Amino acid sequence: MEHSETELVLKGYGLTTAEMYYHMPDYPHVLNSFIWQEYDLAPDHEKLFEFIEFWHDEIEGLLHSVRFTHRKLIRPGEWRNVVGEFIVH
């Protein structure tokens, strides 16, 4: 079941951004970079590690290094549903 970004954020997910440096398969002395983003839960980062495993199993370029950051955009306690309306003439 797919959840919307808003639902994920309200459940405590944050945006994880990873920059992956990898060796080009045909030119092993050349490093290239790849940016990956997904909503993930800290501190486990299950989706990030699943992607790294996928990369290891399915992609020819060997990973050199991975840098990542995680940021919660909205915390569940910071959001509230406001019911009401003020009319200004």
In a domain, 86, yes or no: no
Structure-token pair, residue 87: 């009319």
Model confidence, pTM: 0.75
| Contact status, residue 12 vs residue 40, Cβ threshold 8 Å | no
In a domain, 51, yes or no: yes
Phi, psi of 48 (to 5 degrees): -65, -45
Confidence of residue 31 (pLDDT cuts 50, 70, 90): very high
| Contact status, residue 55 vs residue 20, Cβ threshold 8 Å | yes
In a domain, 63, yes or no: yes
Q: Is the pLDDT of residue 89 over 70?
A: no
> Domain count of the chain?
1
In a domain, 45, yes or no: yes
Q: Which domain holds residue 54?
A: 5-78
Q: Is the pLDDT of residue 3 over 90?
A: no
In a domain, 88, yes or no: no
In a domain, 85, yes or no: no
In a domain, 44, yes or no: yes
Q: Which residues neighbour 50 within 8 Å (Cβ) at sequence distance 6 or greater?
A: none
Structure-token pair, residue 75: 């915390």
Average pLDDT over residues 18-29: 93
CA–CA dist 47, 39 (Å, integer):
8
